[in-house]
Amino acid sequence: MNDNDRVLQVLSGNTSAFAYFVETYQDMAVTIAFRICGNRQDAEDVVQESYLKAFRNLHSFRSESKFSTWFYRIVYNAAVTHSCSKMWLREGQTGLSAAADTPLPSPDAELERREQAQMVERTLQELPKGDALLLTLYYMEDHSVKEIAQITGLNLSNVKVRLFRARKLFKEHLPAGVY
Amino acid sequence: MDIEDKNKFTEDEKMRRLLRTSKLRASENFSWRVMQQIETEKALTARRRTSKRPGYNVFTDTRSIFGSMYAVLLAMVALAYFEQGKEVLLTPDFLGKVLLVGVGFIAFWLLTRAEGRLRRKKNRRGLLHQ
């Protein structure tokens, strides 16, 4: 059964079928909201509100796009409204200072997975929110450039350019040895 | 795949592996909370819908009452015509009977409307006290 079939089930009155969408997409939705809001509690509140909005407006979902694209767009809009944050900086603005040169104690030491994850997370938090979000959408769930454009409201070429810059910025600011 | 593509593939794969380590997990009871909120809202919406005006439709009521009236009058006219001829149709006696039937149906229709209005008022009062 695909997502469209499940949407039809919910629309025909089977509310419990909506639980599938909650369980499948909650982690990524919270991650997206966290990238924008910057704090976990707010992120979960935003996602909870987004699920409610999605349920109320499920009749407006068009099966031409994926459910995840449609739903993440709701999450994105809700998170941006909630945090009133400026998502997209202009060219030349990064909001970052030069990357601190903090190499690992031993270049040969094997990183614990958790330490690596923390460093990646810290670097993402230092990036402009829009860049961190683009990297999250592109690499975590392999969303295409077209889907990212639908979620964020940016045009295709804008997404490509920003993604390229975000990748570069991320690599430059990741502590030495992690990449 | 040429070398440039292969390098890009490797770079992308590295990025993918790194970034996936930072994916958050929702709290343990998150999906339960969301479904609770949705089920509650659905229950409240259903209750609001059923407590709306009961299925009183003034048009079907009016149609059925006046429809019956015309049917009765037509039957009266037809009976009188075939039994006593068309002269009887214009006599005061017959016209009096037609008028009586008409007034009777109109009174019945007015009573139905008044009763429906009273019923709706009662239901609304009942909802306010819930």
Contact of A30 with chain B, judged by CB distance below 8 Å, is answered with yes
Whether residue A40 contacts residue A96, with contact meaning beta carbons closer than 8 Å, is answered with no
Tens-binned pLDDT, residue by residue, of chain B (130 aa): 577 677 767 888 888 988 988 899 999 999 999 999 999 988 887 776 666 555 556 666 677 888 999 999 999 999 999 888 888 888 999 999 999 999 999 999 899 888 888 887 776 655 444 4
Q: What is the pLDDT of residue A86?
A: 67
C-alpha to C-alpha distances, A40 to A32, A43, A45, A50, B25, nearest whole angstrom: 11, 5, 9, 15, 10
**Residues with pLDDT less than 50, chain A:** 97-107
Task: Please report the ipTM that was assigned to this predicted complex.
Answer: 0.80
Contact of A70 with chain B, judged by CB distance below 8 Å, is answered with no
Residue (of A49, A4, A43, A10) closest to A27 by Cα position: A43
**Cβ-based contacts under 8 A for chains A and B:** 84
Q: Which two tokens mark A104?
A: 């690992």
Residue (of B94, B92, B109) closest to B58 by Cα position: B109
- Separation in Å, CA of A90 to nearest CA in chain B: 24
Distance CA A122, CA B69 (A): 83
Q: Helices (DSSP H) in chain A: which residue ranges? A: 3-11, 19-37, 40-56, 67-83, 113-126, 129-135, 145-152, 156-173
Query: Using the beta-carbon criterion (under 8 Å), do A15 and B39 form an inter-chain contact?
Result: yes
Query: Using the beta-carbon criterion (under 8 Å), do A120 and B22 form an inter-chain contact?
Result: yes
Query: Using the beta-carbon criterion (under 8 Å), do B38 and A30 form an inter-chain contact?
Result: no
Residue-wise pLDDT for A59-83, tens only, equals: 999 888 899 999 999 999 999 999 8
Q: What is the pLDDT of residue B35?
A: 95
Of B18, B27, B35, the CB nearest to A44: B27
Query: Using the beta-carbon criterion (under 8 Å), do A117 and B22 form an inter-chain contact?
Result: yes
Tell me how crowded residue A7 is: count the other CB atoms within 10 A of its CB: 20
The 8-class DSSP code of residue A90 comes to: P
